[in-house]
Amino acid sequence: MTPVTAASAPPTGAAERSEAVTAALGTVLDPELDRPITELGFVRSVSVDGGRVAARLRLPTYFCAPNFAWLMVEGARRALAGLSWATEVTVVLEDHFSSDEINHGVACGQEFAEAFPLLSDPDRLEELRRTFLRKGLLAVQERLGRRLTDHGWTTGQMAEARLGDLPGRLTVTLVRRRKALGLPAADGDPVFTDERGRAVLPAGMEAHLLRCRTTAVGIAANTEICEGLLVTRYGPDPKGGIA
């Protein structure tokens, strides 16, 4: 029998479990803004009572698109259900015109198309999620490209670079985005690729970085608007109830 070590044992204290809940929610992204819901202030509160875990989410406006809201609520529920010690998980979206439908549908394990038959077909939501993941992939490459440029890298060097050539701290988010899209993410794979995982050639690197920059600017602008709306709606409490 393999002994249970301190590193592998599940957290037992309330503070440790609350931290684990927050970390799990930190893996859930706003699909359009490509940032964790914890950073955006979309997690209003979390509570832990033994193995029972509950999270309450909020969004910048009452009319945020229900498909985006669904993805975040569903993602939060999956993330918390993945905690080995969680025996009961509750995720509630507050103050949204479709809160009842979303909360009930996610809790019952429905698909979005079942809860909102007039708004979606079965495959559309997944494709929407992947579309925004691809945009996020480009935005991550923009940040990495800017950092490498600041350190004197040329576009030719970037085109030749492999993931294993860079420290893991620089590529961790890029690798995570690729894995979410099912794209190659081994040490020998190129750092810069298009949304389908195809390597960017040296001749096309400058145009690729420009496209990445345009995508990143659009995401940043939307993020600023949403953060402003959230503060207007709920006040200057960016961390919500998870501090």
Mean pLDDT, residues 228-235 taken together: 94
Is 115 or 89 the better-scoring residue by pLDDT? Answer: 89
Residue 29: what are its φ and ψ, rounded to 5°? -105, 145
The DSSP bridge partners found for residue 133 are none
pLDDT 10s digits, 184-204: 999 999 999 999 999 999 999
Superfamily of domain 14-121: Fe-S cluster assembly (FSCA) (3.30.300.130)
pLDDT on residue 54: 96
The DSSP bridge partners found for residue 199 are 193
| Bridge-based pairing state of the strands 43-49 and 29-30 | unpaired
| Strand ranges of the sheet holding 43-49, from the earlier edge strand across to the other edge | 43-49, 52-57, 88-93
- Degrees (nearest 5) of the Cα angle 197, 201, 205? 95
Least confident of 1-15, 25-39, 139-153: 1-15
Is the pLDDT at 122 greater than 70? The verdict is no
Is the pLDDT at 217 greater than 90? The verdict is yes
Mean pLDDT, residues 121-150 taken together: 90
Question: Between the CA of residue 191 and those of 38, 113, 136, what are the distances in Å?
Answer: 27, 36, 15
Is the pLDDT at 6 greater than 50? The verdict is no
Collapsing DSSP states into helix, strand and coil, what is residue 167?
coil
Question: Between the CA of residue 176 and those of 34, 92, 133, 183, 231, what are the distances in Å?
Answer: 12, 27, 10, 10, 30
Average per-residue pLDDT for the chain: 91
| Bridge-based pairing state of the strands 88-93 and 43-49 | unpaired
Mean pLDDT, residues 158-181 taken together: 96
Is the pLDDT at 146 greater than 70? The verdict is yes
Q: How confident is the model at residue 238 (pLDDT cuts 50, 70, 90)?
A: low
29 touches 36 (CB < 8 A): yes
Which token pair is 16?
């440790």
pLDDT on residue 123: 65
Outline which parts of the chain fall under CATH 3.30.300.130.
14-121
Question: Residues for the chain: how many in total?
Answer: 243
pTM to 2 decimals?
0.84
Is the pLDDT at 121 greater than 70? The verdict is no
Q: How confident is the model at residue 237 (pLDDT cuts 50, 70, 90)?
A: low
